[in-house]
Amino acid sequence: MAAMEKVSTPRSGAHTVIGSSIVIDGEISGDEDLVIQGTVKGKIDLKESLYVESSGVIEADIETANVEVSGQVTGNIAASDKVELKADCKVVGDIRAPRILIADGATFKGNVDMDVKGGK
């Protein structure tokens, strides 16, 4: 029980954090924000926001509403809302989203598809 009290953090809504020493090989899916400081290989399928922090390494295809990348991502990203590549991030793969932001200092290789409706 003591261990449980120590680990429990205040429940700030639905919030998932994958810590820096964690390695996940497989599939992650869910309906809440996900913060990744560790390594994930496989597939990520979310209905909310994904934050890849600077220590985060992702080798996976990503499907979410929002993505914010400060770490490394190898794989295709499909977002229904927005993809933001922050300075110092490294991204290799295709990005498809209506809004894509690439900050100064970001490294990116791949295709960008903003899915422009009506060819405007």
Partner 1 sequence: MATPDGTTIIGESILISGSLNGDEDLTVRGRVEGTLTLTRTLVVEPTGTVKAEVQVKNCVIAGVVVGNVTASESVEITKEGRMVGDISAPRVIIVDGASFRGRIDMGEVDVERAERGSRPALRAAPRPALRPAAKAEPRKAEEKTPAKPSMPPAPVAMGAVKRKVIVKRK
Our measurement of the distance from residue 20's CA atom to the centroid of its chain's CA atoms, rounded to an integer in Å, reads 14
Distances (CA, A) of 47 to 33, 44, 80: 8, 10, 9
Nearer to partner 1, 54 or 110 (CB): 54
Site string for partner 1, 26-55 (x = CB under 8 A): xxxxxxxxx--xx---x-------------
Query: How many whole angstroms separate alpha carbon 44 and alpha carbon 2?
Result: 33
Instruction: Choose which of 1, 104, 116, 119 interacts with partner 1 (CB under 8 A).
Output: 1
> By the criterion CB under 8 A, which residues form the site for partner 1?
1, 3-4, 6-9, 14-34, 37-38, 42
